[in-house]
Amino acid sequence: MNEFTPPAGLRSADINQLPLDVFDGAALPPTVELPISGDGSEGDQAIALREPPVCGEWSFDTSDDANTRTAAKMVEVAPASVVRVAMPDRTVATPAPRPSGTAGTPAKAGIPGIPRIPGIPGIPVREPARDYVQRVTPRTVAPPLRTPAAPRSMTPPTPLPALAELKSMHDASPGDARTAISLATALDKRGNIEGALSVLGRAIEAGADGVPLRCARATILSGRLRYDDAEAELKRAAKLQPEDPDVLLQQGILACRRAKWRDAVEPLSMVARLNPTSALAHFYLGESLNKLDRLQEALVAYERAAELEPTNWRALKGVGIILDRMGRPADAAPFYRRARDAQSG
């Protein structure tokens, strides 16, 4: 065990007079043995050693100086002994205090807030700064609770109130076209497509007017993307009454759904002349003219459809699209807003 010998030129143990360059170039041992000797007189003081400033520090921490001076004043020298104190990074070692009951000031418990060396009472050691860094664990944010969706009811939808009555009326008079169309429409809304077509076919066989019944069958088939079957029904209806507005309207709508825009213009224009109050005819006419880049005519057709049916958001949107294409975005904006409001309402 090597005893510590103060460097040459160190005449005072006063920590305030300790030169900062005493240890320049000298290797610091991992442990330092501090000689503690004396007869317990008031003149003896402990020698407090400090490391030189770490590279990059401006100076010693003033709090370290205050702690060191406090420790030097609080602790008196114990009987001659040698205490081996480990000095980690940035530590300050002080001698053990005299046990209570001897002459002089009673031994202090140490500096509050600084841990002790296990097994050596009264010797506080400042731990490295890194040990005092508070470790903050990132808070885990729990995902928002989601209300479970209500289970879907497996109960079939309640039949329409008039369905049973319509069936009874159709059975009593199968040749009544109006009753057959109403019953077929109700079955179509329930998803019973074949049942709806069967009701209309039974009415045709019973001698009812075939034009509206054929148009009704074409509407149901077209709504299910059965375009060829729908076209066949319309051809049969056109043989009966070629200029019937319902037949022409269904022919124009079917041509639009099949993207045959040129074929749609003529029948729809005829319907618009024969029945000027048909909002569907004006709307689909605007659709076909828009696709053919006949913007001015399409604008008139869309505006007429919007006038006849103010809640038709597709017609309102069509007006906005045509105005945009004509370079009039400021005029198109109100129609877009009206279309949005009509769609959400």
Query: Is residue 230 located within the same domain as residue 279?
Result: no
* 143: in domain: no
Among residues of the chain, what percentage have pLDDT more than 90? 48
Q: Classify 322 in phi/psi space as left (phi over 0), alpha (psi -120 to 50) or beta.
A: alpha
pLDDT at 62: 47
Confidence of residue 344 (pLDDT cuts 50, 70, 90): confident
pLDDT at 82: 44
| Segment 236-256 mean pLDDT | 94
pLDDT at 63: 47
Confidence of residue 85 (pLDDT cuts 50, 70, 90): very low
Cα atoms in the Cβ-side hemisphere of radius 13 Å centred on 177: 12
pLDDT at 19: 55
* 253: in domain: no
| Segment 155-166 mean pLDDT | 65
Query: Is residue 13 located within the same domain as residue 100?
Result: yes
Domain extent for 294: 264-345
* 222: in domain: yes
* 83: in domain: yes
Query: Is residue 1 located within the same domain as residue 77?
Result: yes
pLDDT greater at residue 85 or residue 223: 223
Q: Is the Cβ–Cβ distance between 326 and 300 less than 8 Å?
A: no
Confidence of residue 162 (pLDDT cuts 50, 70, 90): confident
* 179: in domain: yes
pLDDT at 106: 47
| Segment 164-187 mean pLDDT | 92
pLDDT at 269: 96
Q: What is the pLDDT of residues 280-312, one digit of tens each?
A: 999 999 999 999 999 999 999 999 999 999 999
* Alpha carbon distance 115, 303 (integer Å): 87
Among residues of the chain, what percentage have pLDDT more than 70? 53
Query: Is residue 29 located within the same domain as residue 68?
Result: yes
**Joined tokens for residue 340:** 């949005």
pLDDT greater at residue 60 or residue 242: 242
Query: Is residue 33 located within the same domain as residue 115?
Result: yes
Q: Residue 333 is part of a domain; what is its CATH number?
A: 1.25.40.10
Alpha helices (H) along the chain = 62-74, 163-172, 177-189, 193-205, 210-223, 227-240, 245-257, 261-274, 279-291, 295-308, 313-325, 329-344
Number of independent structural domains in the chain: 3
Q: What is the pLDDT of residues 178-233, one digit of tens each?
A: 999 999 999 999 999 999 999 999 999 998 888 999 999 999 999 999 999 999 99
Query: Is residue 173 located within the same domain as residue 275?
Result: no
Query: Is residue 68 located within the same domain as residue 2?
Result: yes
Query: Is residue 107 located within the same domain as residue 26?
Result: yes
Q: Which of 242, 276, 297 is the last residue of a domain?
A: 242
pLDDT at 163: 86
Query: Is residue 1 located within the same domain as residue 44?
Result: yes
pLDDT at 260: 96
| Segment 37-53 mean pLDDT | 48
Please provide the average confidence, as pLDDT, over all residues in the chain. Answer: 73
* 174: in domain: yes
Query: Is residue 171 located within the same domain as residue 80?
Result: no
pLDDT at 132: 43
pLDDT at 47: 47
pLDDT at 338: 95
Query: Is residue 286 located within the same domain as residue 318?
Result: yes
Query: Is residue 109 located within the same domain as residue 66?
Result: yes
* 211: in domain: yes
pLDDT beyond 80 at 332: yes
pLDDT greater at residue 292 or residue 135: 292
Own/partner pairs, 211-215, CB within 8 angstroms, 24+ separation:
211/237, 211/240, 211/241, 211/244, 211/246, 211/247, 212/177, 212/181, 212/246, 213/177, 213/180, 213/181, 214/240, 214/247, 215/246, 215/247, 215/250
- Pick from 81-85, 197-201, 260-264: least confident: 81-85
* 249: in domain: no
pLDDT beyond 70 at 146: no
Q: What is the pTM of this model?
A: 0.53
pLDDT at 194: 94
pLDDT at 331: 96
